[in-house]
Structure 1
Amino acid sequence: MTFANKQISVFGLHRSGVAVAKLLDDLGAQVLVTDPKSSDELQTDIDALQDRDIDFILGGHDQRCIEKANLIVLSPGVPLDIPILQEARSAGIPITGELEVAASLCAAPMVAITGTKGKSTTTILTAELLKGGDFRRVCTAGNIGVPLSSEVQDLTAEDLVVIEASSFQLETTTKFRPVVSVVLNLSRDHLDRHKTMAAYRAAKMKVCANQTSTDWIVLNALDENVLSFADETQARVVCFADTATVKKGTYIEDNQIFAKWEGRSHWICDAGDNPLPGRHNLQNVLAATAVGQIFGISLNMMRSAICDFSPADHSPLEHAFEPVKTVNGVRFINDSKATNVAAVKAALESLTDPILLIMGGYDKGNNYQPLIECVQAKVKGLILLGSHTGIIRNALAAHVVTRDAGTMIDAVELAYSQAAPGDVVLLSPANASFDMFTDYKARGQAFREAVNHLESTETTSKSAIHLGQLSD
């Protein structure tokens, strides 16, 4: 794919749009960027491009966005069915995505990790394991917060890049071909965009669509929706499973993590040595270890990377089952990144103490039925926050006491009022954040601040009581 002297329209700014606009400009393209938001809302992104000969059409898309375009490049958040893109297709203008553009220029081998949940953790852990290999540099990119377009010009054949690939990024790919693809799990998500599970699966399937018999795919052996990918790819299959052995791959037996290769099993570490909480994170460790196995990383290197891994050292893992603090014996956990039902279910399964659960936000077509068993067994109170609470209430109110909150502070205080020492207040929304917050990070930060406010209030209250007792 060549870009010099082409008229290219980039739809959608923010991280991916800015990164691919810079890349295309560097390669000699005539770039136009367009976004439905106003210039005031996008000032930071505009400033990032201000020294370049790039045109802007902001506050909406019109005919100028496509009338001279030889190619249209989409940021992941841009829906494929908006009217202006339908016009472009009718006019025969090719449409692709940021990931496809960057990958076409990538000299380094690519590992691509996708799934409904666990992508960020697995991407970062995989990169840490692969740093034990003979690479000049191992970096992460993609949906993890650093667009591949930002990295690709600095990558060489001696490097390795581990890409977190979302369905939004994959659905616009045509020739994307990682040397190793990983599919962690597949459950209902993003149906507000993909409409059907079949379409969602088809987008995920693109992670391995162009792989050949010289490539590898790592699959969750216990997820039928994922394991079926083996029938639709030419790549060599490696599996992982946390409750069963595998022919080739990684598994857990007697609480020990093993890697099986060429018929022989090799001990990696105790499952308890993994610092990441929850069964879902054990699955992420198994997937990352399987990739390390493919690249021939030594057992000792993998063991050290797993045991020394600290989520706190990696900013993309903030707001993912993150302990905030304990107030009067009540633990607060920020899982704002849990934007689908599968993530909430994993969080609930990871806890043994009674839970006050805060849910809600912008619903993406969720089915909440898979939560019922966990809610009945573990949740003593459900606090609903956000614009789609009626859907959650209809699904879960028969199984748990449910209350509404108007703000994050109200939600935290309401949950705390129902909690006893030893309980857990868990923010795990199962929804996107756009109804009340700019993103899941802002929502998670609001939760942290609400907990800090609660702690401060409790401390002040205790101090007042103590002073009153002294005065008596």
Structure 2
Amino acid sequence: MSLDYKKVAVLGFSPRTGLEVVKYLSKFDLKIIVADSKNREELKDLIVQVESKKTEFDLGTNGEKILESELIILSPGVPYDLEILKEARKKGIETISEIEFAFRQSEAEIIAVTGTNGKTTTTELLGAMLSDLEGNQVKVAGNIGIPFISIIDQLQPGEKVVLELSSFQLEAVEQFKAKIALYLNYSPDHLDRHQTEANYQKAKKNIFKNQKEDDFAILNYDDPYLLKLKDELKADVLGISSEFEAADLLINQQQAYFRKENLSLLNFDKIDLPGEHNRKNAAFAALAAYLAGQKIDKIQQAAENYKLQSHRMEVVGNQKDYLIIDDSKATNPDAALKALTSLEQDVILIAGGQDRNADFSNLLPVIKEKVKTLILLGETADKIASLLTDSGLEIIKAETMEAAAQIGAKKLSQDKILLLSPACPSWDMYSSYKERGNIFQKNVIKNID
């Protein structure tokens, strides 16, 4: 591959994406401007990996140096509407995401996965289903934690890559095109970043950008927004549903049935994935794998062997065999709603976290129906409590996850489930949902009598 630029800027020197983009650019005969609002001391461990005569750092500033470049590549954490980027675009400097840049540098065939919830599970399942696809090397990358740019040298033309894509990655694409694009579900999210729901919708819809009639778009027809979206797309649209009989792939408790070809893609009786939402995730992956050329027996085998990652409806083992579930990955109300609706017993729910202006209105009726004790913490604790003042629920506020887990453990019994499903991100108190979940697990086990 070649790059016809003399100077390229990377805005957002993150330890994954930003670093990998700079490493890739370092292979070419060009100057690199690395810009970040963090200072040199904060980024010293990354700088030492790429520092050279080619690289100029603009750190701890608003990034004005990037205006000297011919191309600006954004890390996912950098908002597309920054004033410095608006100024760059006025000057005619192209501003693109790492996903867009990697796409231009690769000739791989892309299967792209987006949605508000379930992206990682579906991407992992699909990667597993395609892992031994005949004649193809299949890689998995994107929002799953592996920058696309870091694997493009490993992909030959025509080989397949499964990309998990967030709205952050999709908002700055232009030429990006997926052969198969999956849109799992929709609910408003990341409004602190996108400002309006329309902006969020626009970013996510870019997954279908540039698709043609011989490409595939797979949609969740049980989602009202996505059902309407199908009429706007140029690709061959296939719908998945557990309710809509005219859908192409029908899901029930037993199977995922592909009407178009009169065959069953999955037998759920042998697959250990809790909740209707995870059955649907598996169905999305199965249909995409089948369209990519995989055999049904290999699709089924991969689904049977798959285990959910930690902190995604993870059952926490304990000495009394109480049902304790760590769903710390539920970082928005819709994810918590799915967790609650998949459970049949009374629930002790631990919720709350960073306030991102989320809408809890759809979650509240399910909390009233399913939850007996609600333990709240974080920035949203007071907000959620105020919305349930007339519910008759036992509502307890905790200052820390350690305290919340202790309270939950003391209230546990064989006829109740303790569920951590926060409906909010963790960043007001913890570095990640994983840290939050680990603290929950450690302390709930410690406090079971």
Interval containing the TM-score (normalised by the shorter chain): over 0.9
Kindly tell me the number of residue pairs found equivalent between the two proteins. Answer: 447
Q: Which of 338, 350, 358 matches 2:350?
A: 358
1:22, distance to aligned residue in structure 2 (A): 1.3
Q: Deviations over 1:276-313 (max 9, x none)?
A: 111100110111111122123222121211122223xx
**What residue number does 2:250 align with?**
251
**What residue number does 2:39 align with?**
38
Q: Is the 8 A contact 2:118 2:278 kept in 1?
A: yes
Q: Is the 8 A contact 1:173 1:206 kept in 2?
A: yes
1:443, distance to aligned residue in structure 2 (A): 1.8
Q: 1:52 to 1:431 in 2, by over 3 A?
A: farther
Q: 1:227 to 1:244 in 2, by over 3 A?
A: closer
Q: 1:431 and 2:424 equivalent?
A: yes
Q: 1:202 to 1:5 in 2, by over 3 A?
A: closer
**What residue number does 2:59 align with?**
58
1:156, distance to aligned residue in structure 2 (A): 0.8
Q: Is the 8 A contact 1:238 1:290 kept in 2?
A: no
**What residue number does 2:25 align with?**
24
Q: Which of 302, 307, 313 matches 1:305?
A: 302
Within 5 Å, which residues of 2 pair with 1:345-384? 345-384=337-376
**What residue number does 1:464 align with?**
none
State the superposition RMSD in angstroms. 2.0
Q: 1:343 and 2:339 equivalent?
A: no
Q: Deviations over 1:68-98 (max 9, x none)?
A: 2111111111112333223323333221111
Structure 2 unaligned segments of length 5 or more: list them.
Answer: none
Q: Is the 8 A contact 1:357 1:381 kept in 2?
A: yes
Within 5 Å, which residues of 2 pair with 1:120-199? 120-199=120-199
Runs of 4+ in 1 over 6 A off after TM superposition: none
**What residue number does 2:385 align with?**
393
Of 352-361 and 131-140, more deviation after overlay is shown by 131-140
Q: Is the 8 A contact 1:126 1:162 kept in 2?
A: yes
1:446, distance to aligned residue in structure 2 (A): 2.1
Q: Deviations over 1:315-366 (max 9, x none)?
A: xx32211122235343322211111111000111111122111111112221
Q: TM-score, normalised by structure 2?
A: 0.94
Q: Is the 8 A contact 2:183 2:218 kept in 1?
A: yes
Q: Deviations over 1:368-394 (max 9, x none)?
A: 111122111211111111123222222
Within 5 Å, which residues of 2 pair with 1:305-324? 305-311=302-308, 317-324=309-316
Distance 1:353 1:177 in 2: 44
Q: TM-score, normalised by structure 1?
A: 0.89
Q: Is the 8 A contact 1:129 1:297 kept in 2?
A: yes
Within 5 Å, which residues of 2 pair with 1:230-245? 230-245=230-245
**What residue number does 1:445 align with?**
438
Q: Is the 8 A contact 1:257 1:270 kept in 2?
A: yes
Q: Which of 269, 274, 283 matches 2:280?
A: 283
Distance 1:390 1:47 in 2: 44
Q: Is the 8 A contact 1:259 1:268 kept in 2?
A: yes
Distance 1:337 1:107 in 2: 33
Distance 1:246 1:308 in 2: 30
Q: Residue 252 of structure 1 aligns to which amino acid in structure 2?
A: I
Distance 1:427 1:55 in 2: 45
Q: Is the 8 A contact 1:252 1:271 kept in 2?
A: no
**What residue number does 2:211 align with?**
211
**What residue number does 2:402 align with?**
409
Distance 2:421 2:380 in 1: 15
Q: 1:433 to 1:162 in 2, by over 3 A?
A: same
Q: 1:49 to 1:450 in 2, by over 3 A?
A: farther
Q: Is the 8 A contact 2:267 2:300 kept in 1?
A: no
- Residue 325 of structure 1: SS of its match in structure 2? coil
Q: 1:333 to 1:212 in 2, by over 3 A?
A: same
Distance 2:53 2:397 in 1: 49
**What residue number does 1:467 align with?**
none
Of 145-154 and 187-196, more deviation after overlay is shown by 187-196
Q: Is the 8 A contact 1:412 1:450 kept in 2?
A: yes
